Structure 1
Amino acid sequence: MTQTLDETGAAEAALLAVTEDAERPTLTPHVALKRIIMLVNPLSGSVGPRAAGEAEAILADYDVDASVVALEGGQFDTQIQDALSARPDALLILAGDGTAGTIASRAGPDGPLIAPLPGGTMNMLPKALYGTADWKAALRRALEEGAPQAVSGGKVDDQEFYCAAILGAPALWAPAREAVRTGKLKKAWNHARVAMRRAFSGRIRYTLDGSAVRRAEAMVFISPMISRAVDDDAGLEAAAMNTAGATEAFRLAAHALFNDWRHDPAVTTKATRRAMVRARSRIPVVIDGEPSLLGHEARITFVPEAFRALAPLPPAAGDSV
């Protein structure tokens, strides 16, 4: 039987469609992804103005209804709320740690799956979930290997965190540590000098789960997702850091920059579900990589299920501490 030109063309088109489908990367088998929204902040950290277009090109490889929204100054809240109200199967976020954390907090455990991709400076949460600082690689891992993951965390007053919160003057070591990790040694030294100048600005008082009041140079609260020392349901890992002078401060700083700080004799750790921290002056804090100042006291609480992430099983924990 002889095929007509129309029949031949139709057969070739069908074969091409089958071939294209076969070459497409496969979406994760762990959850149905039919519709996703990706929020991109082009002004954040390592994102850049071309990221939205690059994201669209990657998403086009997958059999999923996807839309990319570039966040605009002055429109953040409206755009974020519109994305949450649309109830997609997953909400992908390419932005800084602060923006990703805010969106995850607003989504909560009943909202869409959240994929916080590395688009900031420290990228603590994305590295813990995907094990990479490359947002394109993290995006593909989320789409191809992602599964619903309950992410626990904590709160400093009303601000949630999912990796770690450092309270006290040594919180100022966090920028120095990140600069060392990225090879910016001069910048690290400058941050370290600032931290040392403020290292003895005042100790803090703290209580853990209603225990007696104690003093420390700083308190670190680490989520179970990235802590090597506590189980998922045990609470936050609370680490008290104590130094008796400049020599011990330098040693502790060296451990914080280069080694496992738990091995330092000036550090003690304990699992806790609630804590109170007080100081005579305002308390420096770094919450998931974002530095700020608190008031004279702060309440820290454990949040067993803060939001649900779209992440590989188990989470990559690239930044476990």
Structure 2
Amino acid sequence: MLINPMSGGVDGNAETQARAILDEYEVEADVYLLEGDGFQQTIDEAIAAKPNALLVLAGDGTARSVATLAGDHDILVAPLPGGTMNMLPKALYGTGDWKKALRRTLEQGEPRPVAGGAIGDEHFYCAAIMGAPALWAPAREAIRSGKIGKAWSQARLAFRRAFSGRIRFSLDKRQEQKAEALVLVTPLISKAFNENDPGLEAAAMKTSDAGQALRLAANALFTDWRNDDAVETTRTREVKVWGRSRIPAVIDGETIPVGREATIRFEPHAFTALALPADTVDDVS
């Protein structure tokens, strides 16, 4: 088990609490802290040891990175909720409480193939937002944290930029299209397709007037803008995106650099999680 004591959802007692839970279930496990200069080396050594399973309690970016490495080396991985958004852990364990997620993993966990997507060397397992709505992510997080003043300033900045330029994209080498943004959702969390569907859910946001833009901005802050009437949804395996300037991009809740163009590809089996069965996650909280 790897623990980053400095991540947003982990406190100083995490190592002691984790060891106690593992002992309670009589699991033979080594627990290591991810710290300082040895951060990446500890991860590399854990992968090289080829454990039966690799439990990760860390931020969203670290969990995503370790899941990718585990997939490359055919190691079961349990990315527990130790970050701020915890999109992947919540999809796999139905909770943002890492201690609950760990117990559920030890009691009910089974191998579960997880599909995903990749933008160059960056992998995502829940969703990628390309274009304007990626600018709303900081405002939404500020609202969740109760920081209304910060949320307002972030929202003003986002709205000034959000509808100033469109991105161009092509799905599976088909005809070029334009949109304010494109969201690519993996089968793990897609509500339009099931987990076995061979592709990403592509939701294109297209507006025709300022009224639609304002409505979509409100939805981006408070609900799921993919449910808006101005959004078109389809399935795809490869996407090319380009724009006149650098494209705002967020994957699994984290901002990443993309540049003016990018190719996104579907990964039918990105890694194997030690997680709850897919049909039971919605039944827990």
TM-score range for the pair, normalised by the shorter chain length: over 0.9
Task: Give the drift of 1:110.
Answer: 4.6
- Confirm or deny that 1:253 pairs with 2:217: yes
Q: What's 1:281 paired with? A: 245
User: Residue 19 of structure 2: which of 27, 41, 56 is its match?
Assistant: 56
**Which stretch shows the higher mean deviation, 266-275 or 191-200?**
191-200
Size of the aligned set, in residue pairs, is 281
SS in 1 for 2:232: strand
Cα distance in structure 1, aligned partners of 2:87 and 2:151? 18
Residue deviations 1:28-58 (CA, integer Å, cap 9, x gap): xxxxxxxxxx100111112122211221121
How many percent identity over aligned positions? 59
**8 Å Cα contact 1:226-1:317 kept in structure 2:** no
Cα distance in structure 1, aligned partners of 2:150 and 2:9? 18
**8 Å Cα contact 2:198-2:268 kept in structure 1:** no
- Confirm or deny that 1:83 pairs with 2:46: yes
Q: What's 2:115 paired with? A: 152
Cα distance in structure 2, aligned partners of 1:180 and 1:234? 35
Q: Please, what is the CA RMSD of the aligned residues?
A: 1.7
Cα distance in structure 1, aligned partners of 2:101 and 2:49? 23
**Which runs of structure 2 are paired with 1:124-135 in the superposition (5 Å)?**
124-135=87-98
- Confirm or deny that 1:296 pairs with 2:257: no
**8 Å Cα contact 1:155-1:302 kept in structure 2:** yes
**8 Å Cα contact 2:163-2:213 kept in structure 1:** no
Task: Give the drift of 1:253.
Answer: 2.0
User: Residue 195 of structure 1: which of 158, 163, 188 is its match?
Assistant: 158
Quick one: which amino acid aligns to residue 262 of structure 1? R
TM-score, length basis structure 1: 0.83
User: Residue 228 of structure 1: which of 178, 191, 195 is its match?
Assistant: 191
**Residues 122 and 316 from structure 1, CA distance in 2 versus in 1: closer, same or farther, beyond 3 angstroms?**
farther
Cα distance in structure 2, aligned partners of 1:210 and 1:103? 31
- The structure with the largest alpha-carbon Rg is 1
**Which runs of structure 2 are paired with 1:105-120 in the superposition (5 Å)?**
105-108=68-71, 110-120=73-83
Quick one: which amino acid aligns to residue 237 of structure 1? E
**Residues 126 and 315 from structure 1, CA distance in 2 versus in 1: closer, same or farther, beyond 3 angstroms?**
farther
Residue deviations 1:199-227 (CA, integer Å, cap 9, x gap): 13421100001110010111100000100
**Residues 138 and 169 from structure 1, CA distance in 2 versus in 1: closer, same or farther, beyond 3 angstroms?**
same
Cα distance in structure 2, aligned partners of 1:221 and 1:47? 29
**8 Å Cα contact 1:225-1:317 kept in structure 2:** no
Residue deviations 1:61-105 (CA, integer Å, cap 9, x gap): 111111110001221221001101111111011111110111111
SS in 1 for 2:24: coil
**8 Å Cα contact 1:42-1:70 kept in structure 2:** yes
- Confirm or deny that 1:92 pairs with 2:55: yes
Quick one: which amino acid aligns to residue 263 of structure 2? R
- Is there any run of 5+ residues in structure 1 with no aligned partner, and where? 1-37
Residue deviations 1:7-41 (CA, integer Å, cap 9, x gap): xxxxxxxxxxxxxxxxxxxxxxxxxxxxxxx1001
**8 Å Cα contact 1:84-1:111 kept in structure 2:** no
- Is there any run of 5+ residues in structure 2 with no aligned partner, and where? none
Cα distance in structure 1, aligned partners of 2:135 and 2:279? 28
Cα distance in structure 2, aligned partners of 1:267 and 1:79? 43
